[in-house]
């Protein structure tokens, strides 16, 4: 009895375990009958307890017919073979899924009996479906990412936790010139440096806990390039990386820095003073001319003083206009910072007599840019010009000739008092600028032959329209005779002159007066240029002397930049001195004589001149050929003047010949003369411009950048020096076909 009680208790305990189990049992006997768990029947929604396996399917409940049919087939097969199997079945009318695990029933069940455990795996199945979907999405994303990495135009790589290469893209393979990715990984080919350096960079990224970028030079496809290497640590301990080619960016930065420095150097070499103030009205930039014009110390300006303080310091040195109320004047200039005008211009007349043109430009950021232009010389020249104009007007009004200037429309717009007196015309009426056809009746009354007035009208028309000069003689009713001439002027007008030829002595006197006036004007011009050149020598000598003292270290050791500036000053002083000497030589004209008479070796002279210009031609990639004939010989003359003549010609040849051009210097001679030929394949001179080639201060082309070529001194000086030796200069040139200059020098002066 007690034993039966323990058996019942054990049975109940087993029943409770089955009830609490997540699986529901189903026993299928060999005859097809079944014994189903009540909870299983309820869970699949059957209204009655099934007695056969086929009863597990229904119209609106139970298992799906297709799944049940497959289950029956597998149960029969397993019952015969004694095998186990697993499958899934679905419940009709819901999304539930049951996981079926079948096995032979243990004894005491008869053979052929199968025990099926049914697990409700609906939630797990849903989760598994989601995981499968996410896995598919992840695989797609990974595939897309892999394709993207492979298609990237810059090298990318992946290092495993051991920091060895595990993946590289085609750009990486191409950069290291490998066969394929497998070859690169097998050889551990690194983009920059060796394997140890690459791993050290990866370790640095891991230790930093974030992306680490470095700039390194590398040889990519046989070309040296600057790369930005970026290593990114991954949570798994691996490291990904990529490299960006920043060579063009570095080149652009370097070019920008050079451009900025070039602009600063250019501004520093301007003759005008330039300064810039920021939005806080503090000085942020100034050039050397500004400091010199303001007479303010560089070091003080380098402390970024305020705008008001700069004006005050300039006032202390009399570098601002005199004013009774300086604070108000200063406040008005302070308003420049907020002015709505794009540019403000003022003329400052300084206490010392200097005349400045001041241009203020407000900046969008609230700052101000200031330019100071010293126009003292222009003001003096303008004053001199006004004086010359007044002198010209007085001279024009007192000429013996009667002069009238007709515009292209036939109106008289300029005349002298002699013109109105000869024709007895009212000044008020002439001031209305009458047309020539309106003047014909008034002119006809003064002529013996009134029809000649119509000839005057036709003459003015022909001169202004057809640009043809005309002349003739008129006889007035008072017995005076006048020679007239009409000359076309460059501005399209016509100059009409009347000369009283009644008395030949008057004509001769008038001609002498005109010749004297022209000679005086030429002497005034020559004296002015000569005096200006001599006046320039004094400050130029001081500049050169002080610059030499600075270069020699009398004021202390110079910095490299200051030494370069001093060298540039000395070179400019030397160049300007040569220009002044050349201008003086030109202004002396025919008075230039051979200063010395010595034996001059023509071959040595040519070699010395060629050596001086050898470096210049090399800098322009020009070929300087030297052909010194054995019969060049010697001449008697001034070696310095002759050498300068050759240098002028070489300077012109180099200046007007493009890079890569050819220049030839050749010399030879005979018993009476020595010949020097300088030719080039440069721009050449147009045929119409050849007559102007030897004009002083006349530059035919705009190609010259400076020196005698820019001033038009080379050829005139050469001809002047050569003719002073009794020689001659021949010029042969054609546009775009080069220029040849031949110098002929007698062996002995004539």
Pairing relationship of beta strands 85-90 and 673-680 according to DSSP bridges:
unpaired
Higher pLDDT, 698 or 297: 297
Q: Is the pLDDT of residue 513 over 80?
A: no
Nearest of 116, 122, 97 to residue 29 by alpha carbon: 116
pLDDT of residue 570: 67
354 band by pLDDT with thresholds 50, 70 and 90: confident
Cα(169)–Cα(422) distance, integer angstroms: 101
Cα(750)–Cα(742) distance, integer angstroms: 19
User: Maximum distance among all alpha carbons in the chain?
Assistant: 184
Least confident of 145-149, 534-538, 547-551, 700-704: 700-704
Q: Which two tokens stand for residue 629?
A: 């004939």
pLDDT of residue 392: 67
Can you say whether the dihedral through the CA atoms of 425, 426, 429, 430 is positive or negative?
A: positive
Q: Is the pLDDT of residue 14 over 50?
A: no
Q: What is the mean pLDDT of residues 316-340?
A: 90
Query: Across the strands, what pairs with 86?
Result: 101
Cα(363)–Cα(366) distance, integer angstroms: 6
Higher pLDDT, 455 or 101: 101
Higher pLDDT, 632 or 45: 632
Q: What is the mean pLDDT of residues 334-347?
A: 90
Nearest of 318, 315, 337, 335 to residue 326 by alpha carbon: 315
pLDDT of residue 203: 82
Cα(41)–Cα(149) distance, integer angstroms: 56
Q: Is 332 exposed, middle or buried (0-12, 13-18, 19+ CB in 10 A)?
A: exposed
532 band by pLDDT with thresholds 50, 70 and 90: low
Q: Is the pLDDT of residue 128 over 80?
A: no
Residue found under tokens 């008020």? 428
pTM: 0.33
**What is the Cα gyration radius of the chain?**
53
pLDDT digits (tens, 9 = 90+) for 667-681: 999 989 999 999 998
Cα(222)–Cα(226) distance, integer angstroms: 13
Residue pair 653/739 in contact (Cβ under 8 Å)? The answer is yes
Give the HSE-up count for residue 557: Cα atoms under 13 Å, Cβ half-sphere.
2
Residue found under tokens 């298992």? 63
Q: What is the mean pLDDT of residues 521-540?
A: 63
Cα(500)–Cα(578) distance, integer angstroms: 50
pLDDT digits (tens, 9 = 90+) for 42-94: 777 787 788 888 778 876 777 888 888 888 888 888 888 888 888 888 888 77
Q: Which two tokens stand for residue 509?
A: 């006197």
Element (H, E) at 568: helix 560-588
Element (H, E) at 218: strand 212-220
Strands (E), 452-546: 470-475, 481-488, 494-500
Cα(724)–Cα(638) distance, integer angstroms: 10
Cα(55)–Cα(650) distance, integer angstroms: 120
Q: What is the DSSP string of 64-88?
A: -HHHHHHHHHHHHHHHHH---EEEE
Pairing relationship of beta strands 494-500 and 481-488 according to DSSP bridges:
antiparallel
pLDDT digits (tens, 9 = 90+) for 595-625: 578 898 988 889 988 888 888 888 888 888 9
Residue pair 644/705 in contact (Cβ under 8 Å)? The answer is no
Q: Per residue in 248-270, is it b (16+ CB within 10 Å) or e — as a string?
A: eeeeeeeeeeeeeeeeeeebeee
DSSP count for the chain of H helices, then E strands: 23, 27
Cα(320)–Cα(358) distance, integer angstroms: 11
Backbone dihedral region for residue 691 (phi beyond 0: left; psi -120 to 50: alpha; all else: beta)? alpha
Q: What is the mean pLDDT of residues 701-721?
A: 61
pLDDT of residue 533: 58
Q: What is the DSSP string of 579-629?
A: HHHHHHHHHHGGG---S--EEEEHHHHHHHHHHHHHHHHHHTT-EEEEEE-
Cβ-based neighbours of 242, under 8 Å, separated by 6 or more = 152, 154, 155, 156, 157, 230
Report helix, strand and coil shares of the chain as percent, to nearest 5. Answer: 45, 25, 30
Least confident of 169-178, 313-322, 624-633: 169-178
Cα(83)–Cα(112) distance, integer angstroms: 11
Higher pLDDT, 13 or 79: 79
Cα(731)–Cα(738) distance, integer angstroms: 11
Cβ-based neighbours of 333, under 8 Å, separated by 6 or more = 307, 311, 360
Least confident of 74-78, 425-429, 690-694, 710-714: 710-714
Nearest of 471, 472, 479 to residue 502 by alpha carbon: 479
Cα(523)–Cα(321) distance, integer angstroms: 38
Cα(654)–Cα(420) distance, integer angstroms: 57
Least confident of 299-303, 364-368, 424-428, 566-570: 566-570
Query: Across the strands, what pairs with 102?
Result: 85, 116
Nearest of 543, 536, 540 to residue 565 by alpha carbon: 543
Higher pLDDT, 194 or 369: 369
Cα(353)–Cα(523) distance, integer angstroms: 29
pLDDT of residue 205: 82
Q: Which two tokens stand for residue 240?
A: 């990904």
Cα(105)–Cα(258) distance, integer angstroms: 93
- Read off the DSSP letter of residue 52: B
pLDDT of residue 675: 94
Bond prior to 209 in cis (omega within 30° of 0):
no
Q: What is the mean pLDDT of residues 10-15?
A: 50
pLDDT digits (tens, 9 = 90+) for 260-308: 677 667 766 777 888 889 989 999 888 888 888 888 888 898 888 999 9
- Mean of pLDDT over the chain: 79
Cα(112)–Cα(82) distance, integer angstroms: 8
Backbone dihedral region for residue 143 (phi beyond 0: left; psi -120 to 50: alpha; all else: beta)? alpha
Element (H, E) at 253: helix 247-268
Length of the chain: 750
pLDDT of residue 441: 84
Q: What is the DSSP string of 114-175?
A: EEEEEEE-HHHHHHHHHHHHHHHHHHHHHHHHHHHHHH-SS-EEEE-TT--EEEE-HHHHHH
Higher pLDDT, 631 or 448: 631
pLDDT of residue 677: 93
Higher pLDDT, 634 or 140: 634
Residue pair 71/88 in contact (Cβ under 8 Å)? The answer is no
Nearest of 468, 478, 439 to residue 456 by alpha carbon: 439
Pairing relationship of beta strands 662-669 and 623-628 according to DSSP bridges:
parallel
Cα(271)–Cα(266) distance, integer angstroms: 10
Cβ-based neighbours of 45, under 8 Å, separated by 6 or more = 58, 60, 61, 62, 91, 92, 93
Higher pLDDT, 509 or 224: 224
Residue pair 356/347 in contact (Cβ under 8 Å)? The answer is yes
């Amino acid at each position: 009895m007690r034993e039966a009680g323990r058996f019942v208790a054990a049975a109940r305990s087993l029943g409770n375990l089955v009830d609490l189990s997540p699986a529901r049992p189903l026993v299928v006997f060999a005859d097809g009958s079944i014994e189903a768990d009540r909870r299983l029947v309820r869970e699949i929604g059957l209204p009655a307890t099934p007695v056969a396996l086929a009863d597990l399917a229904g119209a609106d409940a139970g298992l799906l017919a297709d799944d049940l049919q497959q289950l029956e087939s597998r149960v029969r097969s397993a019952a015969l073979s004694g095998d186990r199997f697993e499958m899934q079945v679905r419940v009709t009318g819901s999304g539930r899924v049951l996981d079926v695990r079948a096995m032979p029933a243990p004894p005491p069940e008869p053979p052929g009996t199968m025990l099926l455990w049914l697990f409700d795996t609906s939630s797990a199945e849903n989760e598994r479906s989601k995981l499968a979907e996410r896995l598919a999405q992840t695989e797609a994303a990974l595939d897309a990412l892999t394709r993207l990495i492979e298609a990237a135009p810059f090298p990318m790589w992946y290092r495993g936790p051991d920091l060895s290469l595990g993946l590289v893209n085609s750009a990486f393979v191409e950069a290291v010139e490998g066969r394929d990715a497998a070859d690169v990984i097998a050889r551990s080919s690194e983009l920059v440096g060796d394997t140890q350096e690459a791993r050290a960079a990866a370790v640095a990224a891991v230790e930093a806990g974030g992306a680490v970028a470095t700039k390194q030079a590398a040889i990519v496809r046989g070309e040296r390039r600057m790369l930005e290497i970026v290593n990114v640590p991954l949570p798994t301990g691996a490291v990904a990386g990529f490299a960006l080619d920043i060579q063009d960016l570095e080149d652009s930065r370097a070019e920008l820095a050079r451009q900025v420095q070039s602009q600063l150097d250019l501004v520093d070499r301007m003759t005008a003073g330039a300064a810039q103030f920021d939005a806080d009205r503090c000085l942020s930039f100034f050039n050397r001319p500004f400091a010199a014009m303001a007479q303010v110390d560089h070091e003080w300006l380098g402390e970024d003083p305020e705008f008001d303080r700069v004006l005050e310091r300039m006032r202390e040195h009399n570098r601002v206009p005199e004013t009774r109320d300086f604070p108000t004047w200063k406040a008005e200039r302070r308003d420049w910072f907020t002015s709505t005008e794009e540019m403000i211009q003022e003329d400052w007349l300084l206490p010392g007599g200097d005349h400045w043109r001041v241009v203020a430009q407000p900046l969008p950021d609230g700052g101000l840019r200031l330019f100071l232009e010293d126009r003292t010389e222009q003001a003096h020249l303008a004053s001199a010009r006004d004086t010359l104009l007044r002198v010209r007007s007085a001279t024009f009004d007192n000429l013996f000739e009667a002069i009238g200037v007709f515009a292209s429309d036939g109106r008289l717009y300029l005349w002298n008092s002699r013109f109105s007196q000869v024709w007895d015309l009212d000044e008020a009426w002439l001031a209305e600028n009458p047309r020539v056809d309106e003047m014909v009746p008034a002119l006809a009354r003064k002529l013996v032959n009134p029809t000649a007035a119509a000839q005057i009208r036709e003459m003015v028309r022909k001169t202004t329209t057809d640009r043809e000069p005309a002349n003739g003689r008129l006889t007035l009713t008072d017995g005076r005779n006048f020679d007239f001439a009409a000359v076309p002027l460059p501005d399209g007008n016509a100059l009409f002159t009347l000369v009283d030829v009644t008395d030949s002595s008057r004509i001769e006197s008038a001609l002498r007066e005109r010749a004297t006036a022209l000679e005086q004007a030429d002497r005034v011009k020559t004296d002015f240029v000569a005096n200006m050149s001599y006046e320039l020598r004094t400050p130029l000598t001081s500049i050169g002397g002080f610059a030499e003292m600075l270069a020699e270290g009398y004021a202390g050791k110079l910095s490299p930049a200051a030494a370069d500036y001093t060298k540039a000053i000395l070179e400019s002083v030397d160049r300007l001195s040569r220009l002044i000497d050349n201008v003086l030589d030109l202004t002396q004209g025919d008075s230039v004589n051979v200063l010395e008479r010595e034996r001059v070796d023509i071959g040595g002279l040519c070699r010395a001149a060629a050596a001086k210009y050898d470096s210049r031609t090399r800098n322009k990639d020009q070929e300087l050929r030297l052909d010194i004939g054995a019969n060049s010989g010697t001449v008697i003359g001034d070696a310095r003047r002759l050498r300068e003549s050759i240098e002028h010609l070489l300077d012109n040849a180099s200046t007007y010949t493009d890079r890569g051009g050819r220049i030839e210097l050749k010399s030879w001679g005979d018993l009476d003369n020595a010949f020097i030929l300088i030719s080039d394949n440069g721009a050449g001179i147009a045929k119409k411009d050849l007559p102007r080639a030897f004009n002083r201060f006349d530059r035919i082309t705009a190609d010259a950048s400076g020196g005698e070529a820019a001033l038009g001194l080379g050829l005139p000086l050469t001809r002047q020096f050569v003719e002073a030796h009794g020689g001659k200069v021949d010029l042969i040139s054609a546009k775009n076909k080069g220029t040849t200059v031949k110098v002929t020098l007698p062996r002995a002066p004539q």
